[in-house]
Amino acid sequence: MKEGKIQLKSGHRIWYRRVGSGAAVPLLILHGGPGSGHDYLEPLEKLAPARPVIFYDQLGCGKSDQPDDRSLWRLDRFVEEVDDVREALNLRQIHLFGQSWGGILALEYMLTQPCGVHSLILADSCASMPQLQQELKRLKSELPAEIRATLDRFEATGDFHNPEYREAVIEFYKRHVCRLPTMPKYLLRTTENLKDNPVYETMNGPNELVITGNLRDWSCTDQLSKIAVPTLILAGRQDEITPACSETLHQGIEGSQQVIFEESSHIPHIEEEDRYLAVVSRFLSRTDATTNREP
């Protein structure tokens, strides 16, 4: 295991960890949020015996610099950050994994036609924020009437920090974000990272149900056909970014493989860890066996 700080071209510093030294093509991890940090993805370290697994905290969260400048919280700057990480760590060839917001970042990065990306894994993600908002509206309509009423009442006034409202949001989260009875410590660290995080608030909004940030209208649905690397699409059956969103990705990316985890919501890598790691490991090994490594 090796960890340290990378200096971006902007002068800011971000934290990274490299786990494993296997000979297979490295796996670069893009975490969600925006602003969550890498912590909740730690189960993916178990892929390291076969290959290096590289985590980093995106600027504005976790162990990385957290500058007080909301103009930095833009999709294009985070795309540039991926290139900075690859250059600093000499990651000429990678598999790319993006979870939730990290999947959006991975998609936008792939649309720049980068060299050396052997495969793409899109976990619990989408190709269209408007589609996601429609799916969230549907999931909200399926909540118990009293929870819906509480959400509607406080959202109408914008009182997103009211304790009663937050309790109602947590009821949604229990169904569609994490269905585990007890959250592991690494997931609790992620919830702390997201608490009042300006990156999350600027790009997403006050919570998962209310998307008011600068990602609100983002969509790349009409560009999915440009992605030509082997692609694995993963989602939980009860995922807040629903299987319908995953299906849009699957239909748009030719030759992609889709796997739905029946006992999971938004974090199947934790909720069904063993099966999840097996699915990802097989995909990576199969891709390694059929892809020529560049010199």
Q: In terms of C-beta density within 10 A (0-12 exposed, 13-18 middle, 19 or more buried), how is residue 244 classed?
A: middle
Rounded CA-CA distance 119/227 in Å is: 10
Q: Beta strands 94-99 and 117-123: pairing type?
A: parallel
Is 265 noted as a catalytic residue in this protein? no
What pLDDT does 293 receive?
Answer: 65
- Considering 64, 100, 264, 265, which one is annotated as catalytic? 100
- Considering 31, 38, 266, 269, which one is annotated as catalytic? 266
Is 71 noted as a catalytic residue in this protein? no
Would the pTM count as exceeding 0.75?
Answer: yes
Q: Do 124 and 266 meet the contact criterion of CB atoms below 8 Å apart?
A: yes
Closest among 100, 117, 47, 43 to 282, alpha carbons compared:
47
Is 217 noted as a catalytic residue in this protein? no
What pLDDT does 1 receive?
Answer: 85
* Strand segments (E) across 101-214: 117-123
Q: What is the pLDDT of residues 130-162, one digit of tens each?
A: 999 999 999 999 999 999 999 999 999 999 999
The domain ranges of the chain are: 2-290
- Considering 36, 239, 246, 256, which one is annotated as catalytic? 239
pLDDT under 50: residue ranges of the chain:
none
What pLDDT does 294 receive?
Answer: 61
Could you tell me the CATH superfamily of domain 2-290? Alpha/Beta hydrolase fold, catalytic domain (3.40.50.1820)
Q: Helix, strand or coil for residue 164?
A: helix
